[in-house]
Amino acid sequence: MALLDALDGQARLRRMDTEELDALAGEIRAFLIDRVSRSGGHLGPNLGVVELTIALHRVFDSPRDRLVWDTGHQSYVHKILTGRRAGFDRLRQQGGLSGYPSQAESEHDLVENSHASTSLSYADGLARADAYRDVRDRAVVAIIGDGALTGGMAWEALNNIAGGPERGLVIVLNDNTRSYAPTIGGVADHLAVLREGRSWPGVFEQLGLSYLGPVDGHDIGAMEAELIRARELGGPVVVHVVTEKGRGFTHTEGNELDRGHAVRPMDPASGAPLAASAARSYTAVFGEEITKLAAARPDLVAITAAMLEPVGLLEMGRRFPGRVIDVGIAEQHAVTMAAGLSMGGMHPVVAIYATFVNRAFDQLLMDVALHRRAVTFVLDRSGVTGDDGPSHNGMWDLSILQVVPGLRIAAPRDAARLAELLAEAVAWEQGPTLVRFAKGAAEPDIPAATTFGGMDVLRRSGSLDVLVVSVGALAGVALGVSDTLRERGIGTTVIDPRWVTPVNPVLCDVARRHRLVITIEDNSRAGGVGSTIAQALQDAGVGTPLRAFGIPRRFLEHGRRSDVLAGCGLTAPDIALAVVEELAERVDVHVPVERIEGGR
């Protein structure tokens, strides 16, 4: 690592000759393989942009020149070249380096974006601001992948960039033919034509943009020449750079599914995960169950947005290839297309990450729910996801979507309930349904002690002091709260409503007989299930006080899921302590308020 050790910023980088630059690229790849193998993270995308990032930092003067990385998971090399190499020892760990751009880390990180297709809009705004303020001595550079170019927002931006005032804006199109998996659709086909030199002019020039390339994204000298030309042109220009995702590492180059897009901690020699989990993930359970349902129902069609394997649709796609549709990074289109499929007699299942449903709220509300279409939404990675950081936590879906009329929302607590609720969701034909589940291994199955009015009663102990309403994967925490309260002589009833929206009226009847109701959810407290149940109790004339436990209204830093939940107070000791204090203050029940072990 001699060259990396000697690197003191862009000045030293710009003094390197061709031989040194090639050697530096090799050292950076070796460093990435070593560090990301230890921590896990986005390896393939960063191995593919080593030479591109070196060229960018030799031609442009960050942070005065603005570099905006689309999606942000391809910014590891950028972080290395801007003085953050030491931080890779704690990559994606609590208190360590983020896996995405972070303003808190460096002035070189202008945009903390990890949702795709946004860079061109940011860059257009930055370039317009410089034009308005007559700032002419710096450039704005957006680096966007061909996968992100499948998103409609990117084309909205291109339309306005081409038609706006003259301003310096360089669009680096990092074309590696993939997002998570191979890029599909008409945009991918057109880029293939441009790569092969079979079309002139291309779509960018037809829009009125200058176009340079295609250029070999692993030839630093060739890229520098094109980037210098782009900077000197002065107006909006597209530089088409062809790169190879996962370049330089056997286990990413040989992975044709995703080229090592995101890896777990692994042995770099064998590529094998260091700690393979024997437990099935919620995603795997969904994949098995949706394939069974598809076999039984010829009208069932699945839709995903560039996430076929991550959301568990790989097996259904293999068995029923004509009934799994990958729309690219286009959640809005996916949802409205699903409405059309439903109108045409099919039952669509839209499977995306919970964090990405935010992007399609209007379509879900107006195109699906308003028309009472039987579309099932499956939200993977709901609640706290952990190491991917603030933008990837699926902690807003319940707050956003409970306002949608006619939408039924289920939150399974374990694998068995996921299978049950998914089957119930696709059987419902009166309107839209949604099933949300957490990232990672499914919780151990928690059988119901009994059922009551369509709800699962998980525990009934002692007097009717506290009704604990458990939402989804936090059922284990809810039972832990019950255990701790029982030790202090406080009786509890623990209920899993299964369908959290609309609120089951039976829950209001049960709440009426208790002294206190608490709700526990891994969603924002603002507008979450607790808020909705409180409203239902009020509407039903139930005077039992309610205390909602959930995620505070703030963005959460990256870290292990368990640590992030603990930081939000979503542990059994913390919740139990709060309940004891609440009872002492508000309810005529004598309880000891001494510190509960493990509580804060």
| Residues flagged as binding site for Mg(2+) | 146, 176
Catalytic residue among 245, 247, 417, 459: 245
Task: Look up 245 and say whether it is catalytic.
Answer: yes
- Give the 3-state secondary structure of residue 67: strand
C-alpha to C-alpha distance for 426 and 149, rounded to whole angstroms:
32
C-alpha to C-alpha distance for 136 and 143, rounded to whole angstroms:
20
Task: Look up 247 and say whether it is catalytic.
Answer: no
The number of beta carbons lying within 10 Å of the beta carbon of residue 585 is: 8
Q: Identify the bridge partners of residue 380 per DSSP, sorted by sequence position.
A: 353
Catalytic residue among 331, 381, 439, 498: 331
Tokens of 524: 């924002």
- Give the 3-state secondary structure of residue 165: coil
Give one word for 472, left, alpha or beta, with left for phi > 0 and alpha for psi -120 to 50: left
Catalytic residue among 85, 231, 323, 359: 359
Kindly tell me the burial class for residue 10, based on how many C-beta atoms sit within 10 Å of its own C-beta (0-12, 13-18, 19 or more).
middle
- Give the 3-state secondary structure of residue 327: coil
Q: Are 141 and 65 within 8 A, CB to CB?
A: yes
483, containing H or E segment:
helix 475-487
Q: Quote the DSSP letter at residue 310.
A: T
Q: Are strands 169-175 and 499-501 parallel, antiparallel or unpaired?
A: unpaired
Q: Are 305 and 331 within 8 A, CB to CB?
A: yes
Q: Are 443 and 475 within 8 A, CB to CB?
A: yes
C-alpha to C-alpha distance for 446 and 443, rounded to whole angstroms:
8
Task: Look up 38 and say whether it is catalytic.
Answer: no
560, containing H or E segment:
none
Give one word for 475, left, alpha or beta, with left for phi > 0 and alpha for psi -120 to 50: alpha
The distance from CA 543 to its chain's CA centroid, rounded to whole angstroms, is 39
E strand spans, 105-216: 140-145, 169-175, 210-216
Q: Which residues line the annotated binding site for thiamine diphosphate? A: 73, 114-116, 147-148, 176, 249, 331
C-alpha to C-alpha distance for 377 and 302, rounded to whole angstroms:
10
- Give the 3-state secondary structure of residue 458: strand
Residues annotated as catalytic are: 245, 331, 359
